[in-house]
Amino acid sequence: MQKVLDSNIRICCIGAGYVGGPSMVVIADKCPEILVNVVDINPDRIKNWNDEEYKEIPIFEPNLLPLLKRTRGKNLFFSTDVHQEISLADIIFICVNTPTKQIGVGAGRASNLQWLELCAREIATHAKGNTIVVEKSTVPVKTAEVIKDILITETINNISKEKKYFSVLSNPEFLSEGNAIKDLQDPDRILIGGDNINAIDKLSSIYEHWVPKDKIIKTNLWSSELSKLTANAFLAQRISSINSISALCEITGADIKEVSKAIGGDKRIGNKFISSGPGFGGSCFKKDLLNLTYLCEYYGLSEVALYWNQVLEINNWQQKRISKVVIEKLFRNISGKKIAIFGFAFKADTNDTRESPSINICMDLINEGAVLKIHDPKVKEIEIQKAFEDFLENNKELKNNKKLIDLRKVWNYYDSIYDASKNVDAILILTEWSNYKTISWEEIYKVMRKPAWVFDTRLVTNPDEVKKNGIKLWVLGQG
């Protein structure tokens, strides 16, 4: 039984994923007088969020658990009661997935708004009275217009003729996975876009519990939506830029770490997002860049679309380049050879594998005949299998390759770094987990096949420590 709090604000968040879950946990923690209900149609996800021992929480984020323990069952609840919570809510956050379309107009680039539209229809049907609808999912510009049209149309066609009023706001998230709680507790800015000043002020009043007013930016709807796409495009651009220079460093004898430090010392550039690696991943960067290029082409800005598409091309090229380096160093033949993969999440401090560079690189190696031994401290075996299956589903030409019919014969999962290293020809570090920085290479070398190789794409190893044990080492961006 939910406790009735002394508050005139009740929140419903549709979507208990990487955005909805952590966002609502922090709001509940900072606003104990507000009742926050997170709903999802996936019963397993809700069951995990409600796990009594907190061992099956579906998202790993540093510092998430203490806040969840402090709020769950008090003013924060997780359920599948979508219709009921919509009907009781004053403010509804839409935090559902908006993946890239796979078929139809704009396939491969435009966002699939299927779930967002479904949410809008459910809200129009079940909401009561005055309701603020907050678009938090990353969406194309003008999506709020779609939500408005659905809400208005469904309300007009409402048989009960009950009076309903909706205000649609854009409140995009600017979270960095692995730092999501910190980003939520101490944000650079909060962006609220809309045309109803009262609704904007009401949402702003929630954030003002812990965010200074001068950090809350109020804009029109379209500026807010475009700002989110543009921010991710700029961040992805920086990663592709430094990765392009990493290849030049390897040829000229420069060191990408030294180059990054030198250019990052310029205040005009700064030192964020200029660490070279195997490329960007996660749910947003690729999707938002594809969306941005599609929008530019739709509005006749072909040169702009080509510019931003090149950021994606460099990202793909970097991953292919790493795969080719591994093959080249292992005598141009990896058929039947065992390779340990250290790290499958797209970055450290998260268990998210969406668009992880590890997926493309692993599939390249598997396609060349390698057998992979995969370790990741937070990504579960079943999540890796799903990532591979989704990759093949979206790459039909590989799915029909006879070598890949039984995918489980060409990779295995290991809980131990030591066990994953046994009898391998090479170790490929793809995620910058802290425990990869303290590996005893002396012990690892003993169980590897010789000649033993380590490929460090995250610059986490101590080269002298690795080499003194007889291991051959390749480090990204070092000549």
Q: What is the DSSP string of 41-69?
A: S-HHHHHHHT-TTSS--S---TTHHHHHH
Structure tokens at 389: 């299956």
| Residue 57 structure tokens | 């929480």
Distance CA 457, CA 453 (A): 13
User: How many angstroms separate the CA atoms of 120 and 136, rounded?
Assistant: 13
Among 4, 172, 9, 12, smallest CA distance to 78 is for: 12
437, amino acid identity: K
Give the chain's end-to-end CA distance (angstroms, integer). 63
Rounded distance, CA 284 to CA 236, Å?
A: 10
Laid out side by side, the sheet with 216-219 consists of: 76-79, 35-39, 10-14, 91-94, 129-135, 164-170, 190-193, 216-219
**How many DSSP H helices and E strands does the chain contain?**
18, 14
Give the three-class secondary structure for 310: helix
Question: Is 284 designated active site?
Answer: yes
The catalytic position among 12, 249, 284, 296 is: 284
Angle at 129 between CA 128 and CA 130, to 5 degrees: 120
Radius of gyration of the chain (CA): 24
Tell me phi and psi for residue 469, to 5 degrees.
-95, 10
Q: How far apart are CA 180 and CA 182, in angstroms?
A: 5
DSSP state of 111: B
232 contacts 282 by C-beta, under 8 angstroms: no
Vertex 287: Cα angle to 120 and 148 (nearest 5): 20
Q: What are phi and psi of 129, to 5 degrees?
A: 65, -140
SS3 call for 331: coil
What is d(CA 441, CA 470) in angstroms, rounded to the nearest whole number?
9
Residues with catalytic function = 284
